Amino acid sequence: MRLVIFGPPGSGKGTYASRLAPRLGVPHISTGDILREEVKSGSELGRSISSYVSNGKLVPDEVVNRVMEKRLSQEDCKRGFILDGYPRTLQQALFLDRFSKIDFVINLNVPDEVIVRRLSSRLVCRRCGAIYNRITLPPRVEGVCDKCGGELYQRDDDKPEVVRERIRIYKNEAAPLLEHYRRTGVAIIDFFYEPDESGGDVSPETVVDRIVKALKGSSCCF
């Protein structure tokens, strides 16, 4: 099963995709994680993209397409994948269409004020990339990853001014992409943000259960 998960930064794409992947038996492929790894490694590619990534600007299409083509041709993608953060432009979507057919698009709709609240409290593990939230998904020990004991930090691009820029970019880019998938007959499953009874976020597990149910309802490959 080949899925693309869409949603503004902070909509929970990474959190949901990482939990959905083992349930579907496919890898979760986060373009942001792959690009950040390149930057961290200090490779030539990493050096050439580092200013884009830390300023929340899109890395040029040719570079991202090359990186993703390489990743998607690996063995673990034979049974499918969940793409998180790719494609982000029409050019990337057209490139992807040339070598892979997408079965479903999961489209997360979340209001701006919820995004700002979430991202300013998001923490990421420096070692394994696990995602936490100071308010909704705190680690058991402050500043320490539950899974691997790594140090938790706030990403440079989760700072408010960069978040605003990322939301602006997302809005400009998402509409034509959704239109592209609609036009080419790919099933789009929309999810609308709903707070729990106390006005907070529902648990990631609850959202993932809803996504699995919707996929089953769409008679896909279970």
Site residues (vs ligand AMP, CB under 6 A): 9, 31-32, 35, 52-53, 56-59, 64, 85-86, 88, 92, 157, 166
Distance CA 205, CA 208 (A): 5
Residue closer to ligand AMP by CB (options 53, 186) is 53
Choose, from 13, 19, 36, 118, the residue flagged as catalytic: 13
To ligand AMP, the closest distance from the beta carbon of 155 in angstroms equals 8
Residue closer to ligand AMP by CB (options 120, 220) is 120
Decide if 134 is catalytic. no
To ligand AMP, the closest distance from the beta carbon of 88 in angstroms equals 4
Choose, from 2, 36, 88, 118, the residue flagged as catalytic: 88
Residue closer to ligand AMP by CB (options 55, 109) is 55
To ligand AMP, the closest distance from the beta carbon of 128 in angstroms equals 15
Decide if 126 is catalytic. no
Residue closer to ligand AMP by CB (options 178, 220) is 178
Decide if 182 is catalytic. no
Give catalytic residue positions: 13, 88, 122, 155, 166
